[in-house]
Amino acid sequence: MEQTISPEKDGKRNDPILRVLFEKETADFINGKRMLLFTILIGLITITGFYAALSGLHAETASGESSATFLFLRLFTVSANSIPSYNSLMALMGPFIGIFMGFDAINSERTEGTLNRLVSQPLYRDNIIIGKFLAGLFITAVMVFSSGLLIAAVGLLSTGLVPTGAQIARLFIYLCFCVIYIGFWLAAAILCSTLCRHAATSALACIALWLFCSIFISLLAGIIADALYPVGGNDLQAMLNEVKNYSCQLNLNRLSPYYLFGEATATLLNPSVRSVNAVTVAQLSGALSSTLSVGQSMLLVWPHLTALAALMLIAFAISYVSFMRQEIRSR
């Protein structure tokens, strides 16, 4: 009688199984009804952001304040009246792409009974969660790069200005930032899906985390900084406290992925930004007014990129360990 040897018994990982699971999850994302929601969401971000950029640039041209400097990059940062820029929309709405993609990745499989059938197959259990994460990250990358390149192409036709190689490099790095940023929310959503038994509970947990990171951390940072370093008055200590207060708020805000992404991308898309920390008047005296190269800007935002990637990997690692230690029973 022929005996089937599972990959866990022969001591060798069966990488083709991971590839098959990745392709399966990718196909499920593409063919599912939720893909229509993702397309609508990324479409709204793209159209609204591009409309804001054109309206803002047109208003600057009409008022005589427009400048051709870095006009290509400003397509992603210019806002118009109450319409936010593409970068602001991506920072605020981009997390919902990752949340909607991963909030029921595990618990829906458990509820439908398909998870028990999957783990009963001759495959490593971690291939399941890794395949889901990689498929979601791949779909995210395709949507983000399609959106960014579409704005770049239409903007090129609208403005008639050919971007330089440095500007194209900045755009590519910016889109990579977007993928990693949304990837963190995807990993966080998978973590909530692993820990929560019901999809509704994990969705609420993800939205609560988004609210905390995008709104409440900045409020708490201001309260803590004012308590530690009160400002007001004309004495020397009050003036010193203003710098310490700002630095304290800055460091506390950087605990939020939302703030990290916004600060890093604003620096990357504007070569005129020369520092991401508090700058005193003494430091400004004698400074030359010039722009930074791509490498110099990357030195400023490299800690932000490292922090975002670390947060994404930590969230996924916790969900990985939790999933591997869970007992999966048939209903």
What DSSP string runs through 193-240?
HHH-SSHHHHHHHHHHHHHIIIIIHHHHHHHHHHHHS---SSSHHHHH
Three-class secondary structure of residue 95 per DSSP = helix
If you average pLDDT over residues 14-43, what whole number do you get? 86
Q: Does pLDDT of 13 surpass 60?
A: no
Report pLDDT digits (tens) over 95-128: 999 999 999 888 888 877 777 777 777 778 888 8
**Percent with pLDDT over 90 in the chain:** 47
Residue 281 pLDDT greater than 70, yes or no: no
Q: In angstroms, rounded to a whole number, what is the distance separating the alpha carbons of residues 188 and 316? A: 7
What does the pLDDT look like over 169-205, one tens digit per residue?
999 999 999 999 999 999 999 999 999 988 899 999 9
Q: What is the pLDDT of residue 65?
A: 57
What confidence tens digit (pLDDT) does each residue in 258-268 have?
999 999 999 99
pTM of the model: 0.88
The answer to whether the CB of 255 falls within 8 A of the CB of 217 is: yes
Note the pLDDT of residue 66. Answer: 54
